Chains A and B, each alone.
Chain A
Amino acid sequence: MDKPLLRGELVRLKALDPEVNASLVSSWSRDGEYLRLLDIEPAIPWSAQHIKEWLEKEIEKADSAVNNFLFFIETLAVEDEPGGKIIGFVGLGEVEWHHGDAFVGIGIGERDYWGRGYGTDAMQVLLRYAFDELNLHRVSLGVFEYNTRARRAYEKAGFVVEGRGRQELHRDGRRWDMIFMGILREEWQRARADAANS
């Protein structure tokens, strides 16, 4: 219980507020490249009103079923970063309590924050939440073959490749694999102990 559970080095995780954040998420959905890195569904730009309704539904689902956890990622004030800016989201879905497994999804909608360690930091915070608060046994994810930046970040966070869904994606006239990765509780604990000792 040494440090705040939802706080990392660069970011903290916050409850999502449909009222305040819908227009921001709508603006991210106008970035086709972002959507195609994130989702297998057809890329669609959504209105702020639609996003607001969708977020409200997500909250309702989370309240009633308690099998998904969605957070916004807010920057902390460090060096030349003033902090307090919402840059993306991270969440756990498809939580299967009886098996202790869940899928994680993450998106950094603010391009200025790509490739600077913000996503990795948010993922670390989320993993601590998944293992120390939810007591999960493992966390899973799927990442597209062409999303090399994300693949590197997940490896850095301790995820291991567990297989490839061959040719799962069809984009720009060719097919790509879906890469599945996972991290076990014991792997995460070992990495934490190693980091503490170094």
Chain B
Amino acid sequence: MNANSALFTGKDLRLTPIDREKDPEVESRWTHDLEYLRMLDSELARPLTPAQVKKKYEEIEKEIDQSRSRFYFALRTTSEPERLLGFLEIPWVMWNQGVAGIRLGISDPADRRKGYGRQALQLMLRYAFDELNLYRLVAQIPAYNRIAIRLFEGAGFVEEVRRREALHRAGQRWDALEFGLLREEWEAGRG
């Protein structure tokens, strides 16, 4: 084992803490991109002010500290000047079962399709399996988010559940998908 290996650092990006002073301005801007929000999950997409984002950050850090059942990272470039790319989180952990959720967002359209998502996901899988010692990870993805589906499948996730017509966006019904990855599958893929 190599306990010194960089847990938070990849080639082009890092898992970092939230910056409560600087990040709200940036994320507030991203929340006005409703197409982006709709890709993330099934929630009602709505824009937030920087103050609302800041409050959300405070709640997230409080929850992480008090429950240790949520983990959240701000994704930043390794290149200087360090730039916020998006977020990566384990929104819930069911410790008694060894199971947790996983989600990520590369927020600025200009930063997509550059391999950031793949690198970020690799770091997060290592964190989930080698640091949190989880057994299984679950990602919920709307069927219309083809980029996310490719990304998670590329990392070894398997489509397990297709909740038919569970999403209603822009006049159309879509399936809500769930992808799963087991520890042994991740270990085999790590080679």
Contact = CB atoms under 8 A, between A and B. Distances in A.
A and B from one assembly? yes
Interface of A: 40-42, 96, 98-101, 137-138, 140, 162-170, 175, 180, 182, 184
A140 B182 contact: no
A42 B69 CA distance: 14
A182 B164 contact: yes
| Best-buried of A98, A99, A165 by chain B (most CB within 10 Å) | A99
A188 B159 CA distance: 26
Contact of B97 (A162, A170, A180): A170
Contacts of B178: 163, 165, 180
Contacts of B42: 96, 99, 101
Contact of B165 (A40, A41, A138): A138
B132 to A, nearest CB: 15
A contact face: mostly helix, strand, loop, or mixed: strand
Interface string B164-191: 1111100001001010101000000000
The 4 A-B residue pairs whose C-beta atoms are closest, nearest first, are A163-B161, A101-B166, A180-B161, A99-B168
A184 B175 CA distance: 12
B166 A138 contact: yes
B136 A166 contact: yes
20 contacts: A98-B168, A101-B42, A101-B163, A101-B166, A137-B173, A138-B166, A140-B163, A162-B163, A163-B159, A163-B162, A163-B163, A164-B160, A166-B158, A168-B99, A168-B136, A170-B96, A170-B98, A175-B135, A180-B163, A184-B164
A55 B77 CA distance: 47
